[in-house]
A and B are shown apart, each in its own frame.
Chain A
Amino acid sequence: MREDGFEIDIDTYLNKCVRCGQCRSICPVFEEIRQETASPRAKVFLTSLMRRGEIKASAPAAELLSQCLQCRRCTHECPSGLPVHKAVTAGRRMLRESNPLRLNNKIYPGLFQNPCILNLTANMGRGIRTLLSPLPFTNRHLSSLSSGSALSKLRIITRPQVNKPLARVGYFLGCATNHLFPSVAQSTVSVLTGLGCEVVIPRRLNCCGMPHLGEGDAGTAAEMIKRNIGLFNKHGAEVIIFDCASCYITFRDHVRALNWEGNNGPDGYHVDEKQLYEVTDFITGRLDYKNKLRPLSEVIATIHDPCHLTGNRDLYLTDAHRRLLRNIPGIIFKETPGPRRCCGGGGIFALKQNRLSEGILARKAEQLSLTGAGIVTTLCPSCLHQLSKLKQRPGGNGATPLHAIQLLARSLGLS
């Protein structure tokens, strides 16, 4: 079943689960619901049952399997080595295939599959918001949309003010940054160019494929990544930069798996894992930024680590984030107890499982408030969106959520 970087032999893996229950101790969803049915091992068991034909795809099964953030904590912790999150998506895939006409199974993947459709939908949303604006109510989904997409404000190629750019950097502008946080995209571009890089944002970039992976549609996800990498290749990007933790690991996992299979570039595209960078990792590791930092007014800042950057092998990425904050004059860095605690965002999860998502966020808020921080930085627009909800709550948390790149842009005098 390994037809591309994302497929796994799910039967072999499903059998690996010994139901030891260790996943009960780290799953943010289980922590909220506290019934065995919500534990990751229950989802593995459920997928096995469907696979063996012992139970049929049903609405209760769909509901249980939708109660997963795809944070991958269970996968990182599983002593048996089972990629638990993929067992969940395999289950979702079976559900989708058993009921291909169900509208929900089409809407989200379809929306993200084509950048034009996504743009059109976002713009429609903006239009509806304008029409509704005189009325005394607001829709929280519509109010999350930015006034315009980042892409509409950024050029394909932005050159630095130096004669010879340090590198030609491809910037993967993901859907969430593009439509919810264009200011993050602007900061990313201005920081990279300010530090001497030439930044390329190809037009017609696709979604990274994470929403499709989450629904078990690995084939579409792989296709989209191939297309995206092809676009970067066409523009001669030396590296590809991500300001979204989820986009980054989707690309990285795909590229890593293909290299492992030894068939990188069969369709005329080529990229090495070493060319993919999370943005703070790239800046702290490759660029000279420290001498250009200007002091900010003194403020306590803390960090929220996106789940997708906290896998066992990826912790160095969260180190880069910390190094960056510690280097900015005026920032008093204070660690949150449990910085890796999930915020409950998870992209589409926050829409589909709103109540659960809010509950997980409340626990995060409790821990953030212990630091007395005025700013909380993260590396993922989905987390940023989720943390922004805290500000909207009555008596909400005082910390202003920012992407780390925004804080850096401020200190570099580029925002």
Chain B
Amino acid sequence: MAARELVRAMTDILGRDKVLGGELERRLYSYDSSYHSGRNCFLPDIVVFPGSTEQVSDIIKYAGPRGIPVTPRGAGSGETCGCLAARGGIVLDLSQWDTIEEVDAANMQVLVRPGVVHARLNQHLQQYGLFFPPDPGSTRMCTLGGMVANNSSGLRAVKYGTTENYVLGLEVVLPDGRIIVTGGQKCRAIKNVSGLNLTKFFVGSEGTLGVITGIRLRVWPKPLSRGIAMAVFEDLDDAPLAVLDVYRAGILPSGIEILDNSAIRAVNMYRPEIDLPDAGTILLFEVDGNPPGVEWEGKQIAAISAKRASRVEWSTDPARMADLWQCRSVVAAAASRLRKDGTRIFAGEDISLPLNQVAPALKRIRALSRDYGIEVVSYGHIGDGNIHTAIVINLKDAHEVQRAERLVDEIHRLAIELGGATTGEHGVGLVRAKYAPAEHGPALDVMKQLKECLDPEGIMNPEKIFPPEQI
């Protein structure tokens, strides 16, 4: 049971039904989607469900002076232990706080609370002919608070960029309980260079600098038309070259996704009706815009890819497009299906590479997979160099688990060596913090100083982003 005093204090602020302190309940808040959280127990002392900025501020004002850690959490769909209580304390489950406060269609922006689920926002925006472009594979469950805190992106970052490109301003509760609004208190301007850019400072801060309680997002007119070109390659190496060919032709698709052979098999096992061709690699190019432009670009892409591909398919049929696009978002977990006793683990899963290093990296990863005798399913956002490497292992086999852990480390180090980053969109959390010195050098000290300045007690989401010896 959580300490009685803590339960009483939280109940005073939030009411009894917004506080969970039972042992079992806390245990069920000890995980996210990461492999690491399946093997370690990050038990919070208490879980609470705030529903207003003032409540969050009151909680932090209580926790701060007592040195009680505070960890914000959305849907818990992250892969890095980012929302887990590494040092106990309070977990703020913000997923119930999901009001779409305002759709300001005239000014093309929305104001939302952190718990709004990504897919719900876009569904709601449809009636206004607007959309929020970043498109994570976890669209059906992930929350916008989590997306902002991790600067998430997904399938359409090629053309539309990541979440940070859409955040106009944030309401944040600071580690001392103060409430601020970044990007101008009443500002609804789209362009804004007034003051230091605190908005960008908080986007991607993974809850280490404060709690995001309000998000003003820029939204875009929804393109009138959309199409998907599928190019099938016998050889994995041809696919990255075809991507560069398309760029050189002056075409910028909204998304370019790659599926290697094992990813293709996984999708076909999960959704046989999609019936992907069993080939070495598949590229999916999504183009959007006005109807004649989409048609022209789609056919150009098909023609360019055909030089290297064994087969191309261009589709504007909504049902077929939904199938093809869905196969990319489901492959993440569907990879588990490749082995009867296998589990896909989320570890070392979203390295980001310079575009010209994607082909060499995929080759090296294939070699590593062979060396370690571990299946690696490669897929992801090849258009921006952000590759997912899904590792499928038998969790009951201790040797295999050990080998997988070494393999994950090598994949991370490979990304740094090739001039890339250990994470392109999932965040650092606990699991990538150890690579921070190698990735950032002296810049890490500056990050640490900024963190200390805002959070001298270190109560906000401790042990995340910064390696243990750094804070």
Contact = CB atoms under 8 A, between A and B. Distances in A.
Interface of A: 11-12, 15-16, 18-22, 24-26, 34-37, 42, 45-46, 49, 55, 58, 60-61, 64, 78-81
Contacts of A80: 333-334, 336-337, 343-344
Interface string B1-24: 000000000000000000010111
A61 B24 contact: yes
Contact of B336 (A11, A16, A42, A49): A16
Q: Which 8 A-B pairs have the closest CB atoms?
A: A79-B333, A25-B140, A21-B77, A80-B336, A79-B334, A42-B28, A21-B141, A20-B333
Contacts of A79: 270, 330-334, 336
B396 interface: yes
Given A24-B75, A34-B95, A18 B28 contact: no
B345 A18 contact: yes
A19 B95 CA distance: 16
B269 interface: yes
A21 B77 CA distance: 6
Nearest to B396: A15
Contact of A22 (B96, B141, B331, B396): B141
B126 to A, nearest CB: 14
Contacts of A18: 33, 333, 336, 343-346
Contacts of B29: 36-37
A21 B76 contact: yes
B445 interface: no
Contacts of B20: 35, 37
B117 A25 contact: yes
A19 B32 contact: yes
B222 to A, nearest CB: 21
A12 B141 CA distance: 25
B190 interface: no
A60 B22 contact: yes
Nearest to B119: A25
B399 interface: no
A55 B24 contact: yes
Given A20-B77, A80-B343, A80-B344, 19 more contacts: A12-B340, A16-B343, A18-B336, A18-B346, A19-B37, A20-B138, A21-B138, A22-B140, A22-B333, A25-B117, A25-B119, A35-B49, A36-B29, A36-B93, A36-B95, A37-B20, A49-B27, A79-B332, A81-B334
Contacts of A81: 269-270, 334, 336-337
Contacts of B344: 18, 80
A37 B28 contact: yes
B236 to A, nearest CB: 23
Q: Which of A34, A55, A79 has the most CB atoms of chain B within a 10 A radius of its CB?
A: A79
A46 B24 CA distance: 8
B105 interface: no
A21 B75 contact: yes
Contacts of B31: 19, 45
Contacts of A64: 24, 28
Given A12-B340, A81-B334, A45 B28 contact: yes
Q: Which of A34, A37, A46 has the most CB atoms of chain B within a 10 A radius of its CB?
A: A37
Contacts of B101: none
A36 B76 contact: yes
Contacts of B270: 79, 81
Contacts of B269: 81
Contacts of B93: 35-36
A37 B140 CA distance: 18
A18 B388 CA distance: 15
A79 B346 CA distance: 14
A19 B33 contact: yes
B25 interface: yes
10 contacts: A19-B31, A19-B38, A21-B142, A22-B333, A24-B75, A35-B96, A42-B28, A46-B24, A55-B27, A80-B337
A247 B28 CA distance: 33
Contacts of A16: 336, 342-343
Q: Which of A15, A22, A24, A36 has the most CB atoms of chain B within a 10 A radius of its CB?
A: A36
B328 to A, nearest CB: 12
Nearest to B341: A12
A338 to B, nearest CB: 12
B414 interface: no
Given A25-B141, A49-B27, A20 B341 contact: no
A79 to B, nearest CB: 4
B274 interface: no
A15 B333 CA distance: 12
A36 to B, nearest CB: 6
Contacts of A11: 396
Contacts of B38: 19
Contacts of B27: 49, 55
Nearest to B24: A60
Nearest to B393: A15
A230 to B, nearest CB: 33
B145 to A, nearest CB: 14
Q: Which of B22, B29, B333, B342 has the most CB atoms of chain A within a 10 A radius of its CB?
A: B333
Nearest to B115: A34
Contacts of A26: 140
A15 B395 contact: yes
A11 B343 CA distance: 12
Contacts of B25: 35, 37, 60
Contacts of B96: 34-35
A24 B28 contact: no
Nearest to B26: A37
A128 to B, nearest CB: 36
B176 to A, nearest CB: 28
A20 B79 CA distance: 9
B333 A24 contact: no
Contacts of B33: 18-21
A42 B346 CA distance: 18
Contacts of A12: 340-341
Interface in B136-171: 138, 140-142
A78 B337 CA distance: 11
Contacts of A35: 20, 25, 47, 49, 93, 96
Nearest to B345: A18
A15 B342 CA distance: 8
Interface in B315-348: 330-334, 336-337, 340-346
A390 B342 CA distance: 46
A20 B270 CA distance: 15
A238 B40 CA distance: 56
B55 to A, nearest CB: 16
A182 B396 CA distance: 52
Nearest to A20: B333
Interface in B36-55: 37-38, 47, 49
Contacts of B333: 18, 20, 22, 78-80
A68 B243 CA distance: 46
Nearest to B74: A21
A161 B108 CA distance: 70
Contacts of A37: 20, 24-25, 28-29
Contacts of B24: 37, 46, 55, 58, 60-61, 64
B76 to A, nearest CB: 6
Interface string B57-94: 00000000000000000011100000000000000010
Interface string B116-145: 010100000000000000000010111000
Contacts of B330: 79
A20 B31 CA distance: 10
A36 B28 contact: yes
